């Protein structure tokens, strides 16, 4: 019989961030493309949902009060407008080759300008230029329009550092619940849900 991956004694100090780190390390070793890709679900003030893929750019129990999971985006995009209206959100990691999922629920808050500056400076130069050229989520006449804007921005900053645009920044999801799911044959899956209780975490197994 296969060992229980989500047995309590198999989880580092009952810590969901530690378990997340172990699973992410395995995903980085096995997934061909974008092991840090995660689905981000937000909703409008009226409750209309939307979801898209973003990339995890930082995580940990020591990221601000309550720890968190960080991603970056254009703050004039649809997702940013929804976050401003309703900061409750959810993340989903799905590593198909490992047959695992992690669901995370909580509230989003902006990262500091200093953190956004540091991450922006680490990006590839073309990605930096693209952040200036794109009006993310706004209508566009054709792709040439965007490429022409990119070329204009490239010339503007030729030979110079590319500054972070004022409308570009990051968000940290502060988790209130984290659920780990591992596929088993015949849908006899393993599921463990962690729920924040003040400064600590309570956990329980769930029926699949």
Domain with 66 in it: what CATH number? 2.30.110.10
Q: Is residue 147 in a domain?
A: no
What would the mean pLDDT of 150-174 be, rounded to a whole number? Answer: 96
Is residue 201 assigned to a domain?
yes
Residue 2 confidence class, pLDDT cut points 50, 70, 90:
low
Residue-by-residue DSSP string for 103-170: EEEEEEEEPPHHHHHHHHHHS-HHHHHHHHH--TTS--S-HHHHHHHHHHHHHHTTTS--PPPTTEEE
Active-site residue (options: 156, 172, 184, 187)? 187
Residue 142 domain-assigned (yes or no): no
Q: How many domains does the chain have?
A: 1
Q: What's the domain range around 65?
A: 8-120+170-205
Residue 135's pLDDT band (cuts 50, 70, 90) = confident
**Residue 114 belongs to a domain:** yes
Binned at pLDDT 50, 70 and 90, residue 112 comes out as very high
Task: With respect to residue 144, please indicate whether it lies within any of the assigned structural domains.
Answer: no
Q: How buried is residue 169: exposed, middle or buried, by Cβ count under 10 Å (0-12/13-18/19+)?
A: buried
Q: What is the mean pLDDT of the chain?
A: 93
> Is 191 among the annotated ligand-binding positions?
yes
- The answer to the question of whether 123 is labelled as a binding residue is yes
- Which of 39-43, 65-69, 105-109, 137-141 has the lowest average pLDDT? 137-141
The pLDDT of 40-54, averaged and rounded, is: 96
Mean pLDDT in residue range 149-157: 96
Residue 183 domain-assigned (yes or no): yes
Q: What is the 3-state secondary structure (H, E, C) of 37-76?
A: EEEEEEECCCCCEEEEEEECCEEECCCCCCCEEEEEEECC
Instruction: State yes or no: 136 annotated in a binding site.
Output: yes
Q: Do the domain assignments include residue 54?
A: yes
Is there a binding annotation on residue 203? no
Residue 85 lies in a domain: yes
Q: Does residue 187 carry a catalytic annotation?
A: yes
Say if residue 207 carries a ligand binding annotation: no
pLDDT greater than 70 at residue 1: no
In this model, does residue 12 exceed pLDDT 80?
A: no
pLDDT given at position 73: 95
- Please check the confidence at residue 23 and state whether its pLDDT lies above 70: yes
């Amino acid at each position: 019989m296969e060992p229980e991956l989500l047995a309590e004694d198999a989880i580092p100090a009952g810590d969901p961030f530690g378990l997340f780190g172990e699973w992410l390390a395995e995903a980085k070793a096995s997934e061909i493309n974008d092991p840090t890709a995660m689905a981000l679900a937000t909703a409008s003030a009226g409750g209309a949902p939307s979801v898209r893929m973003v990339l995890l750019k930082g995580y940990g129990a020591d990221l601000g009060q309550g720890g968190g999971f960080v991603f970056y985006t254009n703050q004039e995009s649809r997702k940013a407008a929804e976050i401003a209206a309703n900061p409750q959100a959810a993340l989903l990691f799905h590593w198909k080759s490992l047959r695992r999922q992690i669901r995370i629920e909580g509230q989003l808050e902006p990262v500091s300008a200093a953190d956004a500056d540091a991450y922006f400076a680490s990006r590839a130069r073309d990605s930096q230029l693209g952040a200036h050229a794109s009006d993310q989520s706004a209508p566009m006449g054709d792709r040439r329009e965007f490429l022409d804007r990119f070329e204009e921005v490239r010339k503007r900053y030729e030979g110079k550092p590319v500054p972070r645009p004022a409308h570009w920044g990051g968000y940290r999801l502060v988790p209130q619940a984290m659920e780990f799911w591992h596929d088993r044959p015949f849908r006899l899956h393993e599921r463990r849900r962690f729920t924040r209780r003040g400064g600590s975490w309570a956990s329980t197994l769930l029926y699949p």
